[in-house]
A and B are shown apart, each in its own frame.
Chain A
Amino acid sequence: MKILLDLFITFAKMGAVTFGGGYAMLPILQREIVENKKWGTDEELADYYAIGQCTPGVIAVNVATFIGRKTAGNLGGVVATLGVVFPSLMIIVLLAGVIQAYSSLEWVKHAFAGVRVCVCVLIFNAVIKLFSKAIIDRRTMGIYLLVLAGSVFLNLSPVLFVVMAGLAGVILKVWVK
């Protein structure tokens, strides 16, 4: 019981201080998990990140589940994950309430119009970063262009693109070569 509480509090603390999630969390995980709590090693963290990238979902959540499970079984995995999302939940709900209350003010509208331009640039930057890791040859370029055209011109669910791209990857990499 004590270890579960410890897991929840430790991961909640990390969730509250990490901006940007995922990779931004790595140095904090190294300090808290490896050095302070000794729940895992640097090598294990590296493995968890590698697997977090090969599994669906949010990387910070995946890593929390891994460490929680290793420390206190399946229940530990669930508790650590709840801990890491708990601060987000509180902060976002508070902020969303405030933003909704003031969203009709003229200057707030101007501020968000400016912010949207910034969001465009942030998405563009995120794409550039992903692109260099994902598009590594002609075939991956082909998948990129096909899915891009499909997303822009066809009104289909992203789920469909994900399933087809995963299948295409297996066919190209395992069976055709």
Chain B
Amino acid sequence: MMMLYAKLFWEFFQTGLFAVGGGMATLPFLYSISDRTGWFTHEQLADMIAVSESTPGAIGVNMATYSGYITAGLPGAVISTAGLITPSIIVILLVAAFLNAFHENRYVVGAFYGLRPASSAMITAAGLILARVVFFFGDFSGGNVNVKAVILAGLLLVFTHTIAFTRKLHPVIWIAFSAAVGIVFEF
């Protein structure tokens, strides 16, 4: 059990240290943890995102807490959260000492010039993994398309992009809406 706790802390420590660009940036790391350890499945990850978006608090913290809980109960939740925030605390306490020099430093600016597109790319890849399960029953080449899911996704895209009134609504509304659609139309 101690080994599992130590491993859990280390995995989330790395996530906290290398995930750049907010909550969703932890996603590729969670997929990687899921693939290597089997602590939680890809489906559970998708559910975690939904719960994390629908509850208060930072999304990255919520996802770490949730995955820690699934892996090792309440102690797991505390340990994974501690792992995620420890690098942030250390880095910020160090950076705070030489505040202005830091975000004008050309090496820091250069590193983030490369890190931002990489982070976007890894989140795109995580989205593709989920899209394969949701829209193609886990196989892009199989030719089976989940028509219900495609229609719902199309509706959500219209709501979140084109209609002025609905565009501003909080994601929790769309999560609740999709849950209702899922129940009524038996997804």
Contacts and interface: CB of A to CB of B under 8 A. Distances in A.
B53 A20 contact: yes
Main SS of the interface on chain B? Answer: helix
Q: How large is the interface on B (under 10, 10 to 19, 20 to 34, 35 or more residues)?
A: 35 or more
A135 B87 CA distance: 27
B174 A133 contact: no
A77 B55 contact: no
Contacts of A1: none
B166 to A, nearest CB: 13
Contacts of A59: 22, 58
Contacts of A3: none
Q: Which of A50, A53, A70 has the most CB of B within 10 A?
A: A53
A5 interface: no
B111 A169 contact: yes
B114 A169 contact: yes
Contacts of A161: 118, 121-122
A107 B180 CA distance: 10
Contacts of B19: 56-57
Contact of A116 (B85, B113, B134): B134
B152 A69 contact: no
Interface string B2-24: 00000000000010111111111
Given A117-B152, A118-B50, A165 B118 contact: yes
B131 interface: yes
Nearest to A95: B51
Given A56-B16, A111-B183, A173-B109, 6 more contacts: A77-B96, A81-B85, A93-B69, A100-B70, A124-B157, A167-B114
Interface of B: 14, 16-24, 27-29, 32, 35, 43, 46-47, 49-62, 65-66, 69-70, 74, 77-78, 81, 84-85, 87-89, 91-93, 95-96, 99-100, 102-103, 106-128, 130-131, 133-135, 149, 152-153, 156-157, 160-161, 170-172, 174-175, 177-183, 185-187
26 contacts: A15-B57, A20-B59, A20-B170, A51-B99, A56-B20, A56-B91, A57-B85, A58-B16, A60-B57, A60-B61, A74-B93, A107-B183, A114-B182, A114-B183, A117-B152, A119-B53, A121-B156, A122-B53, A122-B171, A122-B174, A134-B21, A134-B119, A147-B122, A159-B14, A162-B20, A168-B114
